[in-house]
Structure 1
């Protein structure tokens, strides 16, 4: 019988998700991971459509439970906040996954909110990476709904790094470390009053660069990928490695 902790990841539709293979590298303990992508290959990724995926999320979660997983981690920021008019509405989506499985469930954007609160910050700079204007404004609005003071918000397009029609597919579904680093540094430089830099977009991977960047900008970075890893480790009592940055000490 295998007694290793088993974590189930719900991945966004039609996207090659690094999280199931990355997570075992960020904790000291030996763990097993399993993946259940949302089976929506022609998904249009409009916020209105994302907001209707609760049944599919629950089905993936139930499948992961049947595989023996002990916790459900949902990858992808907007699935909690898309079209939500309150934090409570977003929390309800997370609670619905828990109700469907009787397992703890964690959604990416809510893990980010929880991490910011654990850090005790209020003023934030929001880096929306490859988001278009609708997604950028939607995520910034959600951060305001959660009580944070958003002192700066920008995307790659706003920063002049990419054109207004850019999509994550144009980066091969994952931004380069150099592009992500430069974008975060831009946000930090544009918002000296921000107590933390928030990086949304699961295609912006920060694990390999977060420690160096936090040292450079002298502030915590709460990113979609690493904040979810932090939340999973905290929920399961696992020990994070220092490579995950400041959150490893929270």
Structure 2
């Protein structure tokens, strides 16, 4: 049994995690602990506070008691908003507080791109344009070539959590770029766990979504590889993009 720990802000799309656990079909348990979201707003000051060390440290005790072998801060905007160096500092502080290997969803995206051998990406975000642009800057710092960025102007995680499959598919279609090797949907408040195969079929390329890559990152931290095609190209045994 491998137990993976996730610090998830508030309540929006946390039901993606039991869905992913089911799709993994293995001896893997996903333990989600909810952190205090503070103000639910896709705004820089609110996002910085959401991912503050004290808020994250408050949840690690419960994860340790649950036997978690690694912990991931399951929030993209609450990590990349700190910038490349600040996001590293955030993860180091989390690892120290938890006494466990740690990462965040923002780094999960960059590591997943490396796994797929992809550099050219399109970003399809629920966020306002200014927050989506910060994610693009974070990806560029990681070495990605960001060909297009689409923001949707969604201000709260609560609203993003209400989106259904058709809205998610429309977001991905509108945010795609013909030369992009991969399309990224960065919001952990967006339900995507059940939609990855449809997204990849629709676009004809790998699609990385926030909760999907967050779980993959926790598996990576514990040196586990799981073949789960229902979770998309990232979870197949062999990367399908080579450059």
Q: What TM-score results when the alignment is normalised by the length of structure 2? A: 0.86
The 5 A counterparts of 1:1-250 are: 4-15=1-12, 17-40=14-37, 42-44=39-41, 46-52=43-49, 53-84=52-83, 86=84, 88-128=85-125, 130-156=126-152, 164=153, 167-170=156-159, 173-188=161-176, 191-236=177-222, 237-249=224-236, 250=239
Q: Deviations over 1:89-119 (max 9, x none)?
A: 3122112211222211131111011001121
Partner of 1:161: none
Distance change (3 Å), C-alpha of 1:56 and 1:166: closer
Distance change (3 Å), C-alpha of 1:28 and 1:182: same
Q: CA RMSD in A?
A: 2.2
How far off is 1:59 after superposition? 2.4
Distance change (3 Å), C-alpha of 1:126 and 1:16: closer
What SS does the corresponding residue of 1:26 show, helix, strand or coil?
A: helix
Distance change (3 Å), C-alpha of 1:44 and 1:153: closer
Maintained 8 Å contact 2:4/2:219: no
How far off is 1:42 after superposition? 4.6
> Could you list the runs of 5+ residues in structure 1 that have no partner in the other structure?
157-163
Q: What TM-score results when the alignment is normalised by the length of structure 1? A: 0.83
Give the number of the structure with larger relative contact order, counting CA–CA contacts within 8 Å between residues 6 or more apart: 2
Q: Which has the larger radius of gyration?
A: 1
Maintained 8 Å contact 1:7/1:32: yes
